[in-house]
Structure 1
């Protein structure tokens, strides 16, 4: 599901605050997924069509899965979300590998949009 501007969901972040290590072990044992650590409370699969992040950060993890949309131009996507009536939940911030922001769509769902450092400038 990619648009002309390259936008597509390529990542889903799952909350794992209450049992981060157990959640990681569960997906590894069940599906053979291998995770890369990005700190003590965050791990992610890499190289798939859609990767999975496990967010065990008490102050950052949502209570529901977070679909993440990859775009070529983060600043243009940020402007487009606002113009279309989306509500910015978290402004653009940097993280290892790129930059992202969160928004709330008209039905109340929270999603994130990200771009790599190279493509988001």
Structure 2
């Protein structure tokens, strides 16, 4: 599957589900037989101490990251229970203070279509 084809799958998946966790994306990747697992950490573009998810390949991080940087997708902060419900979470302190970047902190987020993408696709 090409990068562009995977982008379309991701966008359509999020369009259908509205808010999607990284675990939801992993389930999509598994259903498509995409090798997403790796040893890399997906960090926020503005600060590497803001950890979004861990355990992906750099290729998959770059694909999702490019959808974010091109403003097709947006991050939406969510509660830890979004991930705990699936039985998966990061073993890091949760970011509670947006000004505390001294150590690595997990920022639980979901992904959604940007307003522009949402308008184009509906």
Q: Identify which of structures 1 and 2 has the higher relative contact order when contacts are C-alpha pairs closer than 8 Å and 6+ apart.
A: 2
Q: Same fold by TM (over 0.5)?
A: no
- State TM-score, norm by structure 2: 0.27
The answer to which structure has the higher strand fraction is 1
- State TM-score, norm by structure 1: 0.27
The answer to which structure has the higher helix fraction is 2
